[in-house]
Structure 1
């Protein structure tokens, strides 16, 4: 009988010969957790950070676990899990946000270790506060991405943390015994910080643990913010595509009160952070935050402006095709004459692609690291 892990796909995420749906860490976590999964009562197994369904479907198919609760930050991961489950005929799981209902009463938590210590802290805090006192967390990662600081973060919330032997360049940390509330750090998520911004009122940025750049404003976004008051639109609809913590959406709403803004991101952490940022800045009446892949759900040729600071990595893998996909998403929803304002790493030389996919493109700002362009939809 085939192992379910052998038949998983990444779709609808990028698929390429150097990109895999299952890795050695998935297999190690499942093996380390096997005795726990075999004895876990129904509804007490939780999976956090499953990339494409290996941990969730592996637990169900190998150990007959039922009632698995799972949280995946990326919407592509959620959909890949669902597609893999339907294709392989596996069920018995539900998807949740990173909230108390995800881990309430959990006895076993399978975790793909995030690179962000803040993200790990938020997950560990949630487990310690809401899981069963007998909970055991089996967390795995690639050795090259792991540090002893991860042990320290887990130890803040769970009193017993054990590092297991490495295998195929992956290692598991096993944590248990949630600390009493009096011994745990004060709840801190989402955090918030206030930034001075170009002579305007202070801008508040809120962020959950896994948000890119946290409560700071990353330098690419700062480069685009510098030119935001040059945007000619004063009315209509705009999209902050890949909104992150919502900085650009909030800044535009404050600069152009006549524009309605849709802020969209596939990351659950980004969406939760952006919602908090929007509320903290008092623009919830003009900024709608939604979790989506690109501009899905937005009608063709329906918006006047798109703001974009595109990523160019999938995890640790450089994948410039992501930006081209987002450029095409922007082009689809822009009205003729609508504009895409984008910032990108100068060495990537996206201008010819923007010309081809969107329309005539001009440079409005450039330094050795970032280029800001505006492309007009044909």
Structure 2
């Protein structure tokens, strides 16, 4: 019986980073695919695959399908541009043996025979996705889920138990675990975008379920909002999340052109919704783009880039995202352009900025954060 290792997959994270020791898969991927490999396939199978970081599970099924006579189709869903590019990158090295269709996290789910599901980091996102699954599938459809134990607190299991039938789990193996469940009868989506009033600001905001810091003002963003006094014509909100930085900037500088970038489909959709709700008359001065950092953006496009860099990629802590944001910002800033960032004091971002920019200036600081200007 083949296992994950015997498939001899060539998998890389996206984007490929020199001397990167991080794998494009984890033990939860291995556990899920090995259970699927042990399940006899007696007829064609329609699979929904959700939250497959870098496409490791899809690539494994595609490789295993070489030895399977029945047709397999996969509808692959992710909120992440990076995950989708990782899937395409890793599939490019092999022949395609399955029917594969890619969708974002807000797309409707088709009817399937099996749902393969990686547990996400945010519980509310999991609850939304389980409602999506229940609302689209015939009652009793099998859900096979997996996750690393560190990302599976008791609330994850309680959510499955309350939202699904026939809930059970496997024993832990290599710090990962499987969840077995069946879909319930169709129900309405109850997990709606979070709506809230920004404290001390005149904005009514909302976020879809996979957007960071829902229903409250991130303390780094709160500090940055006090320091948006630079007027510029073409401005980017890089890693925009719910779009609050760009929204507040445009309120202060109503003639500017704003571009919002994030790798999350739900973040870009939330930013768009928040601009329409709070500053709808300015929507034609804005564009909203799902991409990795500033991938695909023309050189020298902006006078000012605003950024609150994340230090996670999927569930992994890494500074390479911030580094890529800084490199892309330098490329996309015009002569005499400016990158303004807010960062935790303990993160030494100056060491990454100094080789790229002519001057690095401290704009403001408090007990937890610094705001830096990097000048071209």
TM over 0.5: yes
Q: 1:65-92 CA distances to partner (integer Å, 9 max, x unpaired)? A: 5220101222222112112112122252
Relative distance call for 1:214 and 1:17 in structure 2 (3 A) is same
User: What secondary structure is seen at the aligned counterpart in 2 of 1:373?
Assistant: strand
- For residues 153 and 127 of structure 1, the distance between their equivalents in structure 2, rounded to whole angstroms, comes to 13
User: What secondary structure is seen at the aligned counterpart in 1 of 2:41?
Assistant: helix
- For residues 298 and 76 of structure 1, the distance between their equivalents in structure 2, rounded to whole angstroms, comes to 16
Contact 2:139 2:185 in 1 (8 A): no
**Residue 220 of structure 1 pairs with residue 215 of structure 2:** no
Relative distance call for 1:107 and 1:277 in structure 2 (3 A) is farther
- Equivalent residue number for residue 165 of structure 1: 171
- Equivalent residue number for residue 327 of structure 2: 328
Greater displacement, 58-67 / 292-301: 58-67
Contact 2:359 2:374 in 1 (8 A): yes
Q: 1:103-123 CA distances to partner (integer Å, 9 max, x unpaired)? A: 221221111111210110111
- For residues 96 and 183 of structure 2, the distance between their equivalents in structure 1, rounded to whole angstroms, comes to 32
- Equivalent residue number for residue 105 of structure 2: 98
- Equivalent residue number for residue 152 of structure 1: 158
- Equivalent residue number for residue 188 of structure 1: 191
Contact 2:257 2:285 in 1 (8 A): yes
- Equivalent residue number for residue 242 of structure 2: 245
Aligned CA RMSD, in angstroms, stands at 2.2
After TM superposition, list the pairs within 5 Å mapping 1:1-378 onto structure 2.
3-4=6-7, 6-14=9-17, 16=19, 18-34=21-37, 38-39=41-42, 41-42=44-45, 44-63=46-65, 64=68, 66-91=72-97, 92-101=99-108, 103-181=109-187, 187-198=190-201, 202-228=202-228, 230-233=229-232, 236-281=233-278, 282=280, 283-377=282-376
- For residues 370 and 95 of structure 1, the distance between their equivalents in structure 2, rounded to whole angstroms, comes to 39
After TM superposition, give the deviation of residue 16 of structure 1 in Å.
4.5
After TM superposition, give the deviation of residue 137 of structure 1 in Å.
1.2
| Unaligned runs of at least 5 residues, structure 1 | none
After TM superposition, give the deviation of residue 147 of structure 1 in Å.
1.7
| Unaligned runs of at least 5 residues, structure 2 | none
Contact 2:143 2:183 in 1 (8 A): no
Greater displacement, 272-281 / 215-224: 272-281
Relative distance call for 1:40 and 1:22 in structure 2 (3 A) is farther
Using the size of structure 2 for normalisation, the TM-score is 0.90
Contact 1:57 1:90 in 2 (8 A): no
Contact 1:364 1:373 in 2 (8 A): yes
After TM superposition, give the deviation of residue 308 of structure 1 in Å.
0.5
Contact 1:160 1:176 in 2 (8 A): yes
Contact 1:107 1:134 in 2 (8 A): no
Contact 2:12 2:54 in 1 (8 A): yes
- For residues 35 and 6 of structure 1, the distance between their equivalents in structure 2, rounded to whole angstroms, comes to 18
Relative distance call for 1:175 and 1:368 in structure 2 (3 A) is same
- For residues 141 and 246 of structure 2, the distance between their equivalents in structure 1, rounded to whole angstroms, comes to 40
After TM superposition, give the deviation of residue 15 of structure 1 in Å.
5.9
- For residues 116 and 43 of structure 2, the distance between their equivalents in structure 1, rounded to whole angstroms, comes to 12
Contact 1:268 1:291 in 2 (8 A): yes
Q: 1:143-174 CA distances to partner (integer Å, 9 max, x unpaired)? A: 23212211221233223311122222110111
User: What secondary structure is seen at the aligned counterpart in 2 of 1:7?
Assistant: coil
Q: 1:178-225 CA distances to partner (integer Å, 9 max, x unpaired)? A: 1453xx7x5232222111345xxx212221111111232211111111
Relative distance call for 1:279 and 1:107 in structure 2 (3 A) is farther
- For residues 81 and 4 of structure 1, the distance between their equivalents in structure 2, rounded to whole angstroms, comes to 16
